[in-house]
Amino acid sequence: MAPTKGASPKGVSRTISLGERRARIGLRHHLAAKAHGITPAELADDLVALHATDPASVYLSAAARAEPMHPNDLSDALYKDRTLIRMLGMRRTMFVVPTTSASVVQHSSSDAVAARLRRALVKDLAAATPDPAVWLTELDESVLRLLRELAEATGAELSRAEPRLRTQITYAEGKAYGGPANITTRVLNLLSAEGKIVRGRPGGGWIGSQYKWSPIETWLPDGPPKLSADAARAELVRRWLACFGPGTMADIAWWTGWNLRDTRRAVASNDTVEVDLDGEIGLLLGNDTEPVHAPEPWVALLPALDPTPMGWSGRDWYISPEYRRALFDGTGNIGPTVWCDGRIVGGWAQRPDGQVAWRLLEDIGSAPTSAVASEAARLAEWLAGVRVIPKFRTPLEKELAATT
């Protein structure tokens, strides 16, 4: 039987209060005080990974935590120095991670995602070719040869050079949103998930999403170092607990996208202790049990799909359930948020004129409110006229963006 909410579970080492959990966010996520002199790769490593489904989120997440951090610093780290790499990983979600972490993400998460993608594509190709598995393998090899010759290419360029990429499969036949579509994107996503190719510099600047593709050797000459799935999962859990702990087993399973068996095995491979989280059992690394005290008061404006609000499946301790309708879209994607001392207290959006509009959903006092206004002005200046519209728009973001 699960413990009653508010009653301490038996056998826990100590209680972690809401205040301490929020203090850990402020300090470990570089929100209570911006990091100075930190590199993009170091920042991403401190957060385990930066969500990259929305390309702008990578840049805005960094801007909220570090200064000076210019968009060019992130772009150079991704596409020139290659200390960061974009990967399809946990929960079949796009992330930007330090290149040194590529192996952990690949073998803990991407390999399993790739296996599912390959099975699904082979199944869908059955109507187009008599031996879809062999046909797809031959196509993969052809695309890799082309990329090694070209060094980089867009999906459109590759499909012109390799006609088989223009093979069409019909989806949702008879429905308004259905119809035939080329397999180009699916093949390239599959090769990326398998750690064979990488998304390079996009067109359209740092908010663009039309990427050029490169062979993995461009980033990692020998490919991602080999790790067993168990070792990679154990290391990813260790990193998650160091940044996001304490958290529940359900939080870890949700964030990674693993089944409960693999999650439990990965947790068991680490030295952890159980703690009381308001009646729930939480987990901490064994060397991370010392109390964490509240930092100086702080505020932050975080972008859509920022790693902090996307860090846990259980979110009531940092966002009031009554705010969710305004701050999430219909499929559970969080929009831009305003934070105060470890809690979500409002939302923000960029208007067409470049200014950052914001709204508080509760009274946080005059000094924090002034700090929010200052941070909004700083963000508008940082954006320097670049218009950012979240990929997944939420009710409050759309309303604020239309404000004149």
Q: Which residue has the tokens 């067409």?
A: 352
Residue at 273: amino acid letter: V
pLDDT of 7 above 60: no
**DSSP reduced 3-state for 57:** helix
Whole-angstrom distance, CA of residue 196 vs CA of residue 330: 34
Q: Which residue has the tokens 């402020």?
A: 26
Cβ-in-10-Å burial (0-12, 13-18, 19+) of 276 comes to: buried
CB 17 within 8 A of CB 296: no
Determine phi and psi for 207, rounding to 5 degrees. -95, 0
Determine phi and psi for 88, rounding to 5 degrees. -90, 115
**DSSP reduced 3-state for 307:** coil
Kindly state the tokens that stand for 209: 């999403």
pLDDT of 197 above 60: yes
pLDDT of 5 above 60: no
pLDDT of 4 above 50: no
Q: What is the mean pLDDT of residues 312-320?
A: 97
Categorize the per-residue pLDDT at 128 as very low, low, confident or very high, splitting at 50, 70 and 90.
confident
Categorize the per-residue pLDDT at 11 as very low, low, confident or very high, splitting at 50, 70 and 90.
confident
Query: DSSP label at 328?
Result: B
Determine phi and psi for 221, rounding to 5 degrees. -55, -35
Average pLDDT, the chain: 95
Q: What is the pLDDT of residue 364?
A: 98
Whole-angstrom distance, CA of residue 263 vs CA of residue 250: 9
Residue at 333: amino acid letter: N
In 3D space, the residue among 305, 287, 269 whose CA is nearest the CA of residue 49 turns out to be 305
Question: Dihedral sign, CA of 109, 111, 112, 117?
Answer: positive
Specify which residues 198 forms β-bridges with.
214
Residues in the chain: 404
Kindly state the tokens that stand for 101: 């972490």
Which helix (DSSP H) or strand (DSSP E) does residue 377 occupy? Answer: helix 366-383
Whole-angstrom distance, CA of residue 101 vs CA of residue 88: 13
Nearby residues of 103 by Cβ (< 8 Å), 6 or more positions away? 224, 225, 226, 227, 232
Residue at 357: amino acid letter: A
Q: What is the mean pLDDT of residues 256-278?
A: 97
Categorize the per-residue pLDDT at 223 as very low, low, confident or very high, splitting at 50, 70 and 90.
confident
Each residue's pLDDT tens digit, 93-125: 999 999 999 999 999 999 999 999 999 999 999
Each residue's pLDDT tens digit, 150-185: 999 999 999 999 999 999 998 767 676 677 889 999
Within 245-323, residue ranges assigned H as helices are 249-256, 260-268
Whole-angstrom distance, CA of residue 345 vs CA of residue 293: 21
Categorize the per-residue pLDDT at 10 as very low, low, confident or very high, splitting at 50, 70 and 90.
low
Stated pTM of the model: 0.94
Categorize the per-residue pLDDT at 296 as very low, low, confident or very high, splitting at 50, 70 and 90.
very high
Whole-angstrom distance, CA of residue 177 vs CA of residue 351: 31
Each residue's pLDDT tens digit, 42-77: 999 999 999 999 999 999 999 999 999 999 999 999
Low-confidence winner among 2-16, 74-88, 300-314 (lowest mean pLDDT): 2-16
